[in-house]
C-alpha cells in the first residue's frame, strides 16, 4: 500500500471554454494561460491551491501512479447522506468515491482523502494503475471566476495502517478532521416524524413529551423532544415545505410557549426547519433567489446568510436547544445524493456570487447556521457531512428509516450506522435515524434496532406513538433510553466487509448478532418505500 503525499504524476485542467478538451499540465509547473496550480508538500498533507485572473475553472484532476495488491477491497464515502449504498467492494474503476476512500488487503488498510471543509467538491477513483482525484471547483454548474484570488482547493491526506480496517477508518477520519464539534453531553430523545408524519399539534407534542419524560424518568441527562415538520405557518401535509419560520400554524399557535412547556415537562426542546425553501416568503426580494430555482434562497449572498442567521437565532431565542436543519443539499443542487453520479448538479447555472466555489458557499451557509444557533446544538440532515464537520454537532448520516415498513429501516439503518461509525466523534456525533413506533412494525424487530442504537454510543431518537407498547415493551425501551443517555463504551460492526447490512457487532462488554431479515425474505424494495 502506498500513500499519495507527493506532487501528482499528472494534472489535468478543465475550464468553461475548454470543457470537452482537457488541458494536461506539467505537475512541477502547473500553469496554463492565467491559471496557476501550486502543490505544497507538508509532513501530513499535500496542499493544493489554484489562482486564475480571467479563466473560469471547472475541474482539476490529479493522478498518482500506484498499484493495489490482489484481492484488495475498497470502501468509499457518499456526497451527503447515505442511501443504503455504503459497502466494501472489489475494484471498480468507474466508481466515484466522494471525499475519501479506504483500500484494504492482508491486514493493511490505506486511506486516501481530503481534509474537511475543502474549497472543492472532491471525489476519487481507483484503478489497477493508480488513483485519480477529481476537484470540482465550479460555482453551481458553471466555472468559478477567481479574479486573481488564490483558492485553497483542498488538503490531501493519506496514510497506511496495520490492524483492523474499522480501526483504520476511525483513525483516518480523525486525521481528516482536526476540529470536530461535539455536544457537551449525549444527545438522545424523541422525534415525532416516524409516527406522526406531519399530522401533529401543540397538544400532541405535549403528550409525546409526557410519554418521553416517563420513559426517561431514571435519566439524569434529560432527553430532547424534537418537533419535526408540521409546525410551520405554510405547512402542507403533502410535502416538507418551507418558510416563513417566524410563527407556527393554527395547530401550533405559540411556539415559544411550547418550548417552555416541554422544559416544564422535564425535557429539552428541539425543532426541525428547512431554511432555504421560501414557500410563502413573498416579501423577500427576487434577487435573493437561486437562478436555478426561484423558490430557493441563494446562500452565496450576504443578505441571505443574515436572513438565515436571524431565522435560526429566532428559534434559539424561542427556547429550542437543538435545531435540525434539513433539505439544503437538495434545495441548493436540485439532486439527492444518489442522483449525483458523479457530479453534484446540472450544468448551466451559477450562484449570484460567482467568485466562490459551491463548496465554499455551502461551508459559509453552515457557518451562518451555527452562528445563529447561539449555543443551541445543530443537527444537519440532507447536509454534506464533509463540509459540515466542525460546524455542526450532529449529522443525520443516512436517508429515512420508517415507522411503517420494517424493510426500509432494515435497509437504511444498519448500513448508515455501521459504515458511518468511523465518523462518529471524529467529524461530529452521527445520527443513524429513528426507531418508528406506530403499530405497523413488530416490536421484535424494532427492539433490535433500538438495542443496537442504544449500545452504539450514537444518539438514539425514537418516534413512539403513546399507548402502543405493552408495559414490558415500555420497560425495554426505557432501559435503552437509559443507555442512550450515557453513550458509554464502543461499538464495531465485525461483518461490515462482507455485507451491506452488518448483523454481528462487538461492544465494550459483549458481542451480539441481530436478525434483520423477515422469515419469508424481503418484502418489497426498501428504498422505494417510506
In 3D space, the residue among 328, 332, 289, 336 whose CA is nearest the CA of residue 312 turns out to be 328
Torsion, Cα 345 350 355 360, to 10 degrees, reads -30
pTM to 2 decimals? 0.97
pLDDT at 382: 98
Cell 414557500 belongs to: 279
pLDDT at 524: 67
Distance in angstroms (rounded) separating the CA atoms of residues 212 and 482: 12
Reduced 3-state DSSP string for 250-292: CCCCCHHHHHHHHHHCCCEEEEEECCCECCCCCCCCHHHECCC
CB within 8 Å of 309: residues ≥ 6 apart: 368, 369, 371, 372
pLDDT at 283: 84
- pLDDT tens digits, one per residue of 405-444: 999 999 999 999 999 999 999 999 999 999 999 999 999 9
- For the beta carbon of residue 244, count every other beta carbon within 10 angstroms: 16
Bond before 515 cis per omega within 30 degrees = no
- Measured between alpha carbons, how far is residue 333 from residues 1, 133, 382, 457 in Å? 36, 21, 11, 33
Is residue 53 classed as helix, strand or coil in its secondary structure? Answer: coil
Whether 436 and 446 have beta carbons less than 8 Å apart is answered as: yes
Is residue 463 classed as helix, strand or coil in its secondary structure? Answer: strand
CB within 8 Å of 138: residues ≥ 6 apart: 57, 58, 59, 121, 144, 350, 357, 358
Whether 330 and 178 have beta carbons less than 8 Å apart is answered as: no
Distance in angstroms (rounded) separating the CA atoms of residues 2 and 520: 46
Mean pLDDT by 10 residues, the chain (530 residues): 95 86 86 95 94 96 96 97 97 97 97 98 98 98 97 98 97 98 97 95 98 96 97 90 94 98 98 93 90 95 98 98 98 97 95 98 98 98 98 97 95 97 98 96 96 98 96 97 97 98 96 93 73
pLDDT at 279: 82
pLDDT at 274: 97
Domain-by-domain residue ranges, the chain? 10-176
Handedness of CA 109, 114, 120, 121 (dihedral sign): positive
pLDDT at 525: 66
Whether 417 and 431 have beta carbons less than 8 Å apart is answered as: no
CB within 8 Å of 218: residues ≥ 6 apart: 478, 482
Distance in angstroms (rounded) separating the CA atoms of residues 213 and 181: 27
CB within 8 Å of 60: residues ≥ 6 apart: 11, 12, 13, 14, 37, 48, 50, 120, 134, 135, 137, 153
Amino acid at each position: 500500500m502506498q500513500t499519495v503525499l507527493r506532487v501528482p504524476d499528472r494534472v489535468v485542467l478543465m475550464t468553461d471554454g475548454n470543457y470537452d478538451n482537457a488541458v494536461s499540465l506539467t505537475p512541477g509547473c502547473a500553469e496554463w494561460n492565467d491559471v496557476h496550480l501550486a502543490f505544497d508538500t507538508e509532513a501530513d498533507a499535500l496542499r493544493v491551491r489554484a489562482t486564475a485572473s480571467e479563466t473560469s475553472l471547472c475541474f482539476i484532476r490529479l493522478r498518482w501512479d500506484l498499484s493495489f495488491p490482489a484481492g484488495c477491497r475498497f470502501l468509499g464515502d457518499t456526497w451527503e447522506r447515505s442511501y443504503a449504498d455504503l459497502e466494501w467492494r472489489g475494484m471498480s474503476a468507474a466508481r466515484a468515491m466522494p471525499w475519501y476512500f479506504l483500500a484494504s488487503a492482508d491486514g493493511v488498510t490505506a486511506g486516501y482523502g481530503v481534509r474537511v471543509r475543502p474549497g472543492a467538491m472532491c471525489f476519487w477513483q481507483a484503478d489497477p494503475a493508480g488513483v485519480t482525484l477529481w476537484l470540482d471547483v465550479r460555482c453551481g454548474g458553471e466555472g468559478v471566476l477567481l479574479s486573481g484570488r488564490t483558492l485553497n482547493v483542498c488538503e490531501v491526506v493519506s496514510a497506511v495502517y496495520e490492524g483492523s480496517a474499522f480501526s483504520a477508518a476511525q483513525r483516518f477520519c480523525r486525521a481528516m478532521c482536526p476540529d470536530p464539534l461535539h455536544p457537551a453531553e449525549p444527545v438522545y430523545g424523541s422525534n415525532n416524524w416516524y409516527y406522526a408524519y406531519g399530522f401533529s399539534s401543540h397538544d400532541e407534542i405535549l403528550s409525546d413529551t409526557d410519554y418521553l419524560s416517563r420513559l426517561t424518568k431514571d435519566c439524569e441527562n434529560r432527553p430532547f423532544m424534537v418537533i419535526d415538520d408540521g409546525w410551520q405557518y405554510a405547512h402542507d401535509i403533502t410535502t416538507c415545505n418551507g418558510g416563513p419560520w417566524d410563527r407556527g400554524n393554527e395547530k401550533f399557535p405559540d411556539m415559544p410557549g411550547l418550548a417552555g412547556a416541554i422544559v416544564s415537562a422535564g425535557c429539552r426542546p428541539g425543532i426541525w426547519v428547512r431554511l432555504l425553501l421560501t414557500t410563502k416568503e413573498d416579501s423577500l426580494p427576487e434577487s435573493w433567489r437561486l437562478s436555478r430555482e426561484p423558490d430557493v434562497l441563494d446562500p452565496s449572498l450576504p443578505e441571505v446568510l443574515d436572513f438565515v442567521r436571524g431565522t435560526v437565532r429566532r428559534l434559539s431565542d424561542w427556547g429550542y436547544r437543538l435545531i435540525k436543519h434539513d433539505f439544503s443539499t437538495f434545495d441548493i443542487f436540485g439532486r439527492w445524493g444518489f442522483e449525483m453520479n458523479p457530479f453534484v448538479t446540472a450544468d448551466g447555472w451559477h450562484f449570484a456570487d460567482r467568485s466562490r466555489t459551491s463548496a465554499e458557499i455551502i461551508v459559509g451557509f453552515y457557518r451562518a447556521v451555527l452562528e445563529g444557533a447561539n449555543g443551541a446544538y445543530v443537527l444537519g440532515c440532507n447536509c454534506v457531512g464533509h463540509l459540515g464537520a466542525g460546524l455542526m454537532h450532529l449529522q443525520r448520516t443516512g436517508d429515512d428509516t420508517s415507522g411503517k415498513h420494517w424493510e426500509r429501516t432494515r435497509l437504511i439503518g444498519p448500513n448508515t450506522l455501521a459504515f458511518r461509525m468511523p465518523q462518529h466523534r471524529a467529524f461530529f456525533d452521527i445520527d443513524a435515524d429513528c426507531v418508528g413506533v406506530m403499530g405497523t412494525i413488530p416490536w421484535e424487530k424494532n427492539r433490535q434496532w433500538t438495542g443496537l442504537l442504544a449500545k452504539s454510543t450514537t444518539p438514539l431518537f425514537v418516534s413512539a406513538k403513546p399507548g402502543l407498547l405493552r408495559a414490558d415493551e415500555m420497560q425495554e425501551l426505557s432501559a435503552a433510553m437509559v443507555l442512550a443517555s450515557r453513550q458509554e463504551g464502543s461499538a464495531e460492526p465485525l461483518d461490515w466487509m462482507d455485507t451491506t447490512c452488518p448483523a454481528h457487532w462487538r461492544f465494550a462488554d459483549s458481542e451480539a448478532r441481530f436478525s434483520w431479515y423477515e422469515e419469508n425474505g424481503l418484502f418489497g424494495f426498501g428504498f422505494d418505500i417510506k
